[in-house]
Amino acid sequence: MTVRICSRCVMDNYSDKTIRFEADGTCSYCNYALSRMSLAYFPNEEGKRKLEALIETIKKDGKGKDYDCLMGISGGLDSSYLVYLGAKKWGLRIFAVHVDDGFDSDIAKNNIDNLCKKCEIRLLNYKPDRKQYFDVIRAFIRAGVPNIAIPQDNVLLAYLNKSAKEHGIKYFLSGANFALESILQRGSGTVVADGTHIRAIHRQFGESALTDLPLTTLFQRYIGQKYFDRIKTVKPLDFIDYNRDRAVQELGKEIGFEFYGGKHYESTYTKFVQMYYLPKKFGIDKRKSHFSSMIISGQMTREEAILKLKEPLYEEAEMERDIAFVLKSINMSQEEFEKIMAKRGKDHNDYPVSPLSRFSGLARTFRQVLSD
């Protein structure tokens, strides 16, 4: 196969057969991102007006309640910066939720502690049942599908919805953003809210019953939450000139934030997925999506991205420690893991998925709005 790389960003056809190239060499990913940029990203006066109106509405709806809005925090950049802005700059009363799934890095833990102390916000720390949670993670690895982080994200969504309903909170502030996430490789993935898919894979590869693990479904996430619970998801970072390096510097100065080296690397498990599992088993280098998004938002040049892609994905000894930690946590032997990695990867559609996710247009929309 001849590998072709986009002439504007750094997406290519190496691991994604859905990509399409135009006559000028540009790809379907960056062309689509640019086509919706004026509708999704407002780093200008219009964004300032939209943000002011949003904050005013959130505060108005929060009157008489303990909190104005809900946020999930991971110790990562996007959520940390949004909490900092919300609490310190916009005066919002934030109820923060964190899911301690056993994979938090020490850097993430320190970032969360510093953030909550400096911003004076309440943090509810959920700990999912370790046996059942790790059993689902193990099942996804055994299934050999690309997105083995789906259970991690799904459980977070379930806890966020639970917290919002319990405290009567109507606004969920999402750290998802156009500036750093306008390009998300599609490939053969499915949406993280598909609890049907999670249970199907677990039934085939799991070992223990899922009696105490909260999971959400597509219906609950996109219909129940919006139309019955009346919980609205908003993305304030799309209303500012959101720049990664400036955000890291500001957070470092104001709350002692420490950057962890890459997109979503605050979790040892997500770091393992993006730096080792996906590249080794599927040839997917998530840096291409991340760098391409930064090219579109003007935070990186294509030449800079190409040079950075030439750097090793990981330091060998460090990754060996991370792999050993993940395998020990989920009680999987090195021998079983190596056999799984040697097998040809599977498609998510090789296993049952929710009927809702079979509507291709709807599924594409879901994949585009979900990233964190």
The answer to whether position 212 is within a domain reads: yes
Position 356 scores a pLDDT of 78
Alpha helices by DSSP H, 27-149: 28-40, 45-62, 77-84, 106-119, 130-143
Q: CB pairs under 8 A, 24+ apart, for 29-33? A: 29/183, 29/185, 29/292, 30/6, 30/183, 30/292, 30/295, 30/296, 33/178, 33/182, 33/183, 33/293, 33/296
Residue 275 phi, psi dihedral angles, 5° rounding: -95, -25
**337 is a domain residue:** yes
Residue 121 one-letter amino acid: I
Residue 361: the pLDDT is 44
Domain containing residue 239: CATH number: 3.40.50.620
Domain extent, residue 87, equals 40-280+315-369
| 26 domain-assigned | no
Cβ proximity of 277 and 332 under 8 Å: no
Angle (CA) 262-265-268 rounded to 5° is 155
In a domain, residue 58? The reply is: yes
Q: Where are the beta strands (DSSP E) in the chain?
A: 69-72, 94-99, 122-126, 171-173, 232-234
Q: What's the structural domain count of the chain?
A: 1
- Is 10 a domain residue? no
Q: Give the H/E segment covering residue 5.
A: none
The predicted structure's pLDDT at residue 366: 43
Give phi and psi for 240, each to the nearest 5: -130, 165
Tell me the per-residue pLDDT of 114-161, one tens digit each, with 9 for 90 and over: 999 999 999 999 999 999 999 999 999 999 999 999 999 999 999 999
Whether 2 is covered by a domain: the verdict is: no
Q: Could you say which residues of the chain have pLDDT below 50?
A: 360-372
In a domain, 129, yes or no: yes
SS3 (DSSP) at 261: coil
- Is residue 190 assigned to a domain? yes
